[in-house]
């Protein structure tokens, strides 16, 4: 399944250096020890599908994840988060399109990345061959 992860330039540098999109949510596992660590994704290539402040993230990483490993965010959240949390997070005050949100309960290595693009500059950031072609 083709999905998208959005980030900023600083985090992109760390992601590229590590060679994986790390499953880092929840940020403080002690707050929710029963919730698996996840990578948050969208099936929409437009960051406007994301809630609030995340809708302005300038870097999009496309990933190809086996269908059986993806979870639609709303049903997943209803089963994993405290009662009412999913409904609060999907309320219109946060914006975005909750029907487009997905999670994967593991890190995503570069082998599953399709591309990374700087949406503001309109230039490829990954794979290396695309970056080299852009600068040639």
Paired tokens of 135:
């600068």
Query: Is the pLDDT confidence value at 87 over 90?
Result: no
Which CATH number does 2-131 carry?
3.20.170.20
Per-residue model confidence (pLDDT) at position 34: 86
> What mean pLDDT is reported for the chain?
91
Which is more confident, 129 or 16?
16
97 dihedral zone (left: phi>0; alpha: psi -120 to 50; beta): beta
Q: Identify the bridge partners of residue 102 per DSSP, sorted by sequence position.
A: 41, 72
CA atoms within 13 A on the CB side of 30: 0
Cα radius of gyration (the chain): 15
Residue 14's pLDDT band (cuts 50, 70, 90)? very high
Per-residue model confidence (pLDDT) at position 12: 98
């Amino acid at each position: 399944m083709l999905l998208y992860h959005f980030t900023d330039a600083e985090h992109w540098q760390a992601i590229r250096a590590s060679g994986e999109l790390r499953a880092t949510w929840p940020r403080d596992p002690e707050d929710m020890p029963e919730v698996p660590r996840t990578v948050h994704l969208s099936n929409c290539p437009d960051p406007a599908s994301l809630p609030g402040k995340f809708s302005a993230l300038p870097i999009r990483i496309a990933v190809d994840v086996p269908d059986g490993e993806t979870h639609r965010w709303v049903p997943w959240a209803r089963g994993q988060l405290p009662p009412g949390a999913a409904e609060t997070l999907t309320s219109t005050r946060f914006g975005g399109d909750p029907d487009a949100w997905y999670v994967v309960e593991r890190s995503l290595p570069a082998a599953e990345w399709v591309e990374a693009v700087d949406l503001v500059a309109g230039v490829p950031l990954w794979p290396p061959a695309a970056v080299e072609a852009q600068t040639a």
